[in-house]
Amino acid sequence: MSMSEQLELVSATKSFGGWVKRYKHYSRALDCDMIFTIYLPPQAEEGRVPLMWWLSGLTCNDENFMQKAGAQKTAAELGIAIVCPDTSPRGLDLPGEHDSYDFGSGAGFYLNAKREPWSKHYRMYDYVTEELPSVVRLHFPVNGRESISGHSMGGHGALVLALRQPGRYAAVSAFAPIVNPIQVPWGQKAFENYLGDDVGLRTQYDACELVAKGSSRQPLFIDQGEADNFLEEQLKPERLEAVCEEHDHPLTLRRHPGYDHSYFFIASFIDEHLRYHAERLYAKR
């Protein structure tokens, strides 16, 4: 095994008959050590299982979803593994890396950076689409069927990864995603610093632009809380709705009165997402 394929077990905790396990490994794509969390349902002890990727939002790491979303019960029932990558490279001290919550550490935006000093390490797109999937397939009993979901910045990640890789994921869904990052403050700050001025490059990481380009027909399933503090300035689901309408792209967008941007919102609807994913992960091809 090469260095990047070696895993060090950080912790293993039994959960709903399966296991929440954290592993540390050296990432070649990011050139630093990374930790990820995997939930292995009880069915993984008997055979290979499908896998849902979960991409977390700003300030999160690999742990928040497993601790707060309450997904394991239904994942155990449905026999789905879940992998939560971290949200950025770690253990570096690049200039300004830790200065703000919405850029640098905890805020990798699931892209490959082009600008110095970020471009050597901030390659989360490659990490999450290539390197980590290889590691997971090598070490765990997964069956090759994958789907993807995420929250906020991670919802952006889930949509972009699915739209850019047609046929890769059996299902994609998102909670309160940043659907049009090139037009909102979070995305503009991150893209300016990671990607620079190249408009063509920026649009490759923008779900609305990808839908407009028509590169994939992947149906999108999105839940959005109407009491979300970031709804109007950062999330703007109406933009994705309009572009999907214009380009006849299949979208299910549910708006939930009273729900905010927190994990209490995610927990309230994660079971429905897991069942949506399971139906497609287990569908006959």
Asked if 73 is part of the footprint of a second copy (rule: CB under 8 A), the reply reads yes
Cβ 125 vs Cβ 110: under 8 Å:
yes
Q: Which span sits near a second copy by CB under 8 A: 70-78, 99-107, 149-157, 195-203? A: 70-78
Asked if 264 is part of the footprint of a second copy (rule: CB under 8 A), the reply reads yes
Residue 34 phi/psi, 5° resolution? -130, 155
- For residue 76, the minimal CB distance to a second copy (Å) is 9
As to burial, measured by CB atoms within 10 angstroms (0-12 exposed, 13-18 middle, 19+ buried), residue 120 is: middle
Which among 71, 89, 90 is positioned nearest to 276, based on CA atoms? Answer: 71
**Would residue 152 show up in a list of annotated catalytic residues for this protein?**
yes
Cβ 88 vs Cβ 104: under 8 Å:
yes
Q: Which span sits near a second copy by CB under 8 A: 15-23, 118-126, 127-135, 272-280? A: 15-23
Residue 14 phi/psi, 5° resolution? -70, 140
Residue 196 phi/psi, 5° resolution? 80, -155
- For residue 220, the minimal CB distance to a second copy (Å) is 24
Asked if 167 is part of the footprint of a second copy (rule: CB under 8 A), the reply reads no
Asked if 265 is part of the footprint of a second copy (rule: CB under 8 A), the reply reads yes
H helical segments located in the chain: 64-68, 72-78, 124-126, 132-139, 153-164, 185-195, 199-203, 207-213, 237-247, 263-281
From 199, 227, 242, 283, residue interacting with a second copy (rule: CB under 8 A):
227
From 6, 8, 10, 13, residue interacting with a second copy (rule: CB under 8 A):
13
From 37, 43, 61, 72, residue interacting with a second copy (rule: CB under 8 A):
72
H or E element that contains 23 = strand 18-27
* Token couple for 182: 């090139």
Asked if 271 is part of the footprint of a second copy (rule: CB under 8 A), the reply reads yes
Q: Based on CB atoms, which residue is closest to a second copy, 70 or 219?
A: 70
Site string for a second copy, 20-49 (x = CB under 8 A): x-----------------------------
**Would residue 197 show up in a list of annotated catalytic residues for this protein?**
no
Catalytic residue among 25, 121, 249, 261: 261
**Would residue 261 show up in a list of annotated catalytic residues for this protein?**
yes
Asked if 229 is part of the footprint of a second copy (rule: CB under 8 A), the reply reads no
Cβ 29 vs Cβ 10: under 8 Å:
no
| DSSP symbol at 45 | G
Residues involved in catalysis: 152, 228, 261
- Using CB under 8 A as the criterion, which residues of the chain lie in contact with a second copy when the complex forms? 13-17, 20, 66-68, 70, 72-73, 225, 227, 256, 258-260, 262-265, 267-268, 271
